[in-house]
Amino acid sequence: MNGRSPIMQDGLVLSLDQVLARQSFKWRQYSPGVLAACVADMDLGTAPAVRTALAQLLQRVDLTYPLRDGRKADRAVARAFAARMHRLYGWAAEADQALVLPDLVQATFAAVMAFSDPGDGVVVQVPHYAPFREAVEGTGRRLVPLAMRAGADGHYFDFEALERAVDARTRVLILCNPHNPTGRVAIRAELEAVLAFAERHALVVVSDEIHADLVYPGARHLPFASLSAAAAARTVTLNSATKSFNIAGLRCAVAHFGTAALQARFHARVPARLTGAVNNLGIDATVAAWNDGQPWLDAALAHLLAMRDHLAETLRRELPAIRFHVPQGTYLLWMDCAALELGRPAAEFFLQHARVALSPGEVFDAGAPHCARLNFATSRPILDDILERMIAAVRAHQRRPVHA
């Protein structure tokens, strides 16, 4: 496993044959011949440091109950998280206040259940990652929408509309920053406005920062809890190496509590053992990624930046009716296809006529079937094929006979 293998070369980006060899949700949920630009993982490998860590565990057949540095193995993830937050953002996150658990959707459910009761309100950005809605409505809470309005150069919070909706039983605000699906990275002033709002309404902030590593030049990620001690005291920060290092299947994530008091409030309702132990491959992969994966991540980001810019240029030139903001973070493009007048949901149109699978806009916002999310974390040849298919499908649609 160290170095080259017959299937997986050391190149950063995978060929179509290589991604099709994966038993991945992204590439195998559609019929053959469909190009997948949906599920948020990358048509890339992962960092050599991660592959080496995994290979070493298999080499030793080291798959029994793990210990790392004389402590429970999950603590190695907590320490690596705290060290990384300090290194990247100057944020003195406490390792002892980090719960290590298998996944962040789980963490969102757990936080909603810990910090609110059935019937309470939970603020969620719209559009939003679909499982946030499940975490709210599936647990009997009410979704209080925080609209992301498309402004001149990105999507902004619409607090005025929110102030009219929030009530005394609103308890939690789920913040996703960098934002999926719009790719917006909030600036400090916006986060401070979120904090002031959260303080005014005594909300716990669940800050999903899983895309924090995936921010392009010109923008900068700020952990919400790093704003101030007051912010930390009401913030659960969710993070994971699985998104930026492309190891979603390894299931290892962190829920960090800004204070021991907030952690104790959480555990009074959700015992630590209820969320389950993390597997030792996920643990070692995460530690390797966070401590030794930066060279690979830098190369991946350079590639993603090139794909983002190529995608934006091509859409502007060839499909100018599609409206979008160039994402400041994430490898996701949120496209408004209303002006194409497709006559059906955008993702449905592109799946049927372009054989390109996008994530349907209505999954992120019931009112946005005219929108779709495009995952551009792929190779230039695959991205070009996706674009050619989309362009051809739109042109054919525009040439169609109109029955008046």
Which residue ranges make up the site for a copy of itself (CB under 8 A)?
1, 5-8, 14, 18, 21-26, 28-29, 39, 41-42, 45-46, 51, 54-55, 58-68, 70, 72-73, 101-103, 105-106, 109-110, 113, 131, 134-135, 138-139, 246-252, 271, 273-282, 285
> From the CA atom positions of the chain, what is the Rg in Å?
21
C-alpha distances in Å from residue 312, one per residue of 296, 324, 328: 24, 8, 12
3-class state of residue 99 by DSSP? strand
Rounded to a whole number of angstroms, the minimum distance from the CB of residue 9 to a copy of itself is 10
Q: How many CB atoms lie within 10 A of CB 14?
A: 21
Q: Are strands 98-101 and 253-257 parallel, antiparallel or unpaired?
A: antiparallel
> 176 near 364, Cβ under 8 Å?
no
Question: Which H helix or E strand runs over 98?
Answer: strand 98-101
Beta-bridge mates of residue 145: 124
Of the two residues 50 and 227, which places its CB atom closer to a copy of itself in the complex? 50
> 266 near 111, Cβ under 8 Å?
yes
Of the two residues 43 and 336, which places its CB atom closer to a copy of itself in the complex? 43
Rounded to a whole number of angstroms, the minimum distance from the CB of residue 196 to a copy of itself is 31
Nearest to residue 156, comparing CAs of 130, 180, 185, 132?
A: 185
Of the two residues 70 and 218, which places its CB atom closer to a copy of itself in the complex? 70
- Residue 90's identity, in one-letter code, is G
Of the two residues 121 and 282, which places its CB atom closer to a copy of itself in the complex? 282
Residue with token string 């709002």: 197
> 9 near 21, Cβ under 8 Å?
no
Of the two residues 28 and 200, which places its CB atom closer to a copy of itself in the complex? 28
Question: Which H helix or E strand runs over 356?
Answer: strand 356-357
Rounded to a whole number of angstroms, the minimum distance from the CB of residue 118 to a copy of itself is 11
Q: Give the Cα separation of 99 and 117 in Å (integer).
A: 22
Of the two residues 66 and 369, which places its CB atom closer to a copy of itself in the complex? 66
Of the two residues 140 and 151, which places its CB atom closer to a copy of itself in the complex? 140
Rounded to a whole number of angstroms, the minimum distance from the CB of residue 226 to a copy of itself is 26
Rounded to a whole number of angstroms, the minimum distance from the CB of residue 268 to a copy of itself is 10
Of the two residues 59 and 398, which places its CB atom closer to a copy of itself in the complex? 59
> 156 near 190, Cβ under 8 Å?
yes
> 361 near 40, Cβ under 8 Å?
no
Task: Kindly give the residue spans of alpha helices, DSSP state H, lying in 148-187.
Answer: 159-165
Of the two residues 7 and 229, which places its CB atom closer to a copy of itself in the complex? 7
Q: Which two tokens stand for residue 44?
A: 């890339």
Of the two residues 242 and 328, which places its CB atom closer to a copy of itself in the complex? 242
By CB atoms closer than 10 A (0-12, 13-18, 19+), residue 138 is exposed
Of the two residues 6 and 343, which places its CB atom closer to a copy of itself in the complex? 6
Rounded to a whole number of angstroms, the minimum distance from the CB of residue 142 to a copy of itself is 16
> 206 near 171, Cβ under 8 Å?
no
Q: Give the Cα separation of 134 and 111 in Å (integer).
A: 13
Q: Are strands 98-101 and 155-157 parallel, antiparallel or unpaired?
A: unpaired
Rounded to a whole number of angstroms, the minimum distance from the CB of residue 58 to a copy of itself is 5
Q: Give the Cα separation of 338 and 355 in Å (integer).
A: 20
